[in-house]
Structure 1
Amino acid sequence: MAHPVRAAMSAPGLAEAARVATAALTLDAGEAGALVERLSRPPAERRWTALATDGGVVMASMSGKDPAAGHVDLLAVHPSAQGEGRGRALVRAAEEWLREQGARQARFAGNPPCYAWPGIDVRYTAAACLAESLGYEFYRGAWNMTVDLSTDLSVEDDLARLEEAGVAVRAAGEDRERVAAFVAGHWNERWAWEAANAAGLHYAERDGKILAFAAWGARPAWFGPMGTAPDARGLGLGRVLLRRCLAEQRTAGQSTAQISWVGPLGFYSRAVGARAERVFWLYRRDLV
């Protein structure tokens, strides 16, 4: 059965996309609408689209890092419309759009800095099966860690210790652009965009020099990124900034937090008792 696909980038189209995503993405239902909104407000230079069919939506974008790569950022089919080929039709339409933009490869993988997930959550089994049936190949795994926000997140003793060492820890306000510039200078523009667009941003400085930062909410409800300048490591800044962000997420009403796209597990496990939990599979397919 053919399922006509149409553009859905208008406000009504995105509102319907959020409704479908909320119903379909059962692991993310509480934030599915926020994900659609975030993906529709990416960095200014990003090329992206939202395409829809009755009961389904796909959002896709071109990579800002690899001009030959395109990303399937979000795919959702309403439960009442599943099993009728809509997901397949939407992916093929997204691939056609990506080809028109010059992509030579399509990926079911997060497109930093504005993304929904690192890849396909392994518990969305139908999505992984669809990707494989369409010729996509697994090429990498990624994982998140989960923090129970009822845990002890106090930092008072650490703040007193740092104050004696001349280090101040602050929440960014009007100085957010200065913190983002620090992030760009020490890491990359993608992290800087996340810092600038985060719901919460905290940093440490000494004598007017920024030493470290941590952010949350650039990807709705998740923690990250964070980093400490090489010459400031060993002061315990990461633990303090992490805990301040998580405490802010708790105040915002969250009971748990996801630490996104984690590399080494040990730091987060020691600092806040985080556990590895969400696993993602990243897929890709050459567009010929």
Structure 2
Amino acid sequence: MPTGSAGRVAELATAALWADSGDAALVVRRLSTPPEGRRWVALGTPGLDGVVFASLGTGGAGHVDLLAVDPAARDRGIGRALVLAAQDWLRAAGATEARFAGNPPCYGWPGIDVRYTPAACLAESLGYERYSVAWNMTADLVSGWNPASWDEEGELARLAAAGVSVRSIPRTERAEVSAFARREWNERWAWEAEQATGCHQAVRDGEPLGFAAWGSRPNWFGPMGTAPAARGLGVGRTLLRRCLAEQAAAGLRQVEIGWVGPLRFYSRAVAARAGRVFWLYRRRLD
């Protein structure tokens, strides 16, 4: 990204991404400070009325992480030209496939929000095929699951009777959480746990059983994971609720649960409902 252009890119993303206007500047900062070792690029038009971010993933995959065109400059082919430029960069960097899909752990969205119809149409016109669907869920902390009515002490006492303790982990003490996430799941979750605003861990007999984090964006929850030994104890529910209670205390009325797997779990634990839908696209780079 050209020196001094970060502010303009954030303004552009805020103007272009109407469904994410409150988070667009944060997403730009997040994509501009990826994990160490990630190869990425930001390409823009001379007047910065359009910008695209791209990065290399694993297994030969390249990712189009963000595409934004000034509303006043649309219908001029800028978006198409930017995606083609991103594909050229990815191809030169060794990618064999390009994706409109999140490149964890540092990503903007799981894919293309279905409400961004022009972006989906552009991807399909360029030969991208839809290969998966991702969901976010929304937890309403006022009219849905309200932390003020939660019996946290009773839930913690029930876990304590099973030998499980739960506590908040400050950023300076997350080495164990990070190692646990890396060992049980992947490097992506380990990085997210380290970067999160809030993080909680469950332990039994000195061994970690689960963790949950929030704050990749202020109103987003995740990731969360529980080890097989914790299943059936209600550890995940308690970790989730503690995180959402912290977010409510920070002034949030709704929390977005990103890239959801078990819809039923979140629906039952915090009355979350299916919200945003993302289409994931890919195409070969010949």
TM-score by length of 1: 0.93
Identify if the C-alpha distance between structure 1 residues 217 and 251 changes in structure 2 by more than 3 Å, giving closer, same or farther.
same
Q: Distance in 2 between matches of 1:74 and 1:253?
A: 28
Contact (CA 8 Å) 2:23, 2:217: kept in 1 or not? no
Q: Distance in 2 between matches of 1:219 and 1:105?
A: 28
5 Å-filtered alignment, 1:117-156, equals 117-150=109-142, 151-153=145-147, 154=150, 155-156=152-153
Moved more, 156-165 or 12-21: 156-165
Q: C-alpha offsets along residues 116-167 of structure 1, whole Å, 9 cap, x if unaligned?
A: 1110000000100111111111111111111112232322210122223332
Q: C-alpha offsets along residues 187-246 of structure 1, whole Å, 9 cap, x if unaligned?
A: 111111111111111111123221110011235531111111111211111001101111
What's the secondary structure of 1:42's corresponding residue? coil
Q: Distance in 2 between matches of 1:144 and 1:177?
A: 28
Unaligned runs of 5+ in 1: 1-7
Contact (CA 8 Å) 1:228, 1:238: kept in 2 or not? yes
5 Å-filtered alignment, 1:1-288, equals 8-10=1-3, 12-53=4-45, 54=47, 55-63=49-57, 65-66=58-59, 68-150=60-142, 151-153=145-147, 154=150, 155-173=152-170, 174-219=172-217, 221-288=219-286
Contact (CA 8 Å) 1:9, 1:49: kept in 2 or not? no
Q: Distance in 2 between matches of 1:103 and 1:70?
A: 5
The one-letter code matched in structure 1 to 2:158 is R
Count of aligned pairs between the two proteins = 278
The one-letter code matched in structure 2 to 1:88 is R
Q: C-alpha offsets along residues 92-122 of structure 1, whole Å, 9 cap, x if unaligned?
A: 1111111110011110000011111110000
Identify if the C-alpha distance between structure 1 residues 172 and 9 changes in structure 2 by more than 3 Å, giving closer, same or farther.
farther
Deviation at 1:251, TM superposition (A): 2.3
Q: Distance in 2 between matches of 1:268 and 1:81?
A: 41
TM-score by length of 2: 0.94
Q: Distance in 1 between matches of 2:66 and 2:236?
A: 31
Identify if the C-alpha distance between structure 1 residues 32 and 195 changes in structure 2 by more than 3 Å, giving closer, same or farther.
same
Identity %: 64
Q: C-alpha offsets along residues 9-49 of structure 1, whole Å, 9 cap, x if unaligned?
A: 53x22221111001111111001000000111111011011
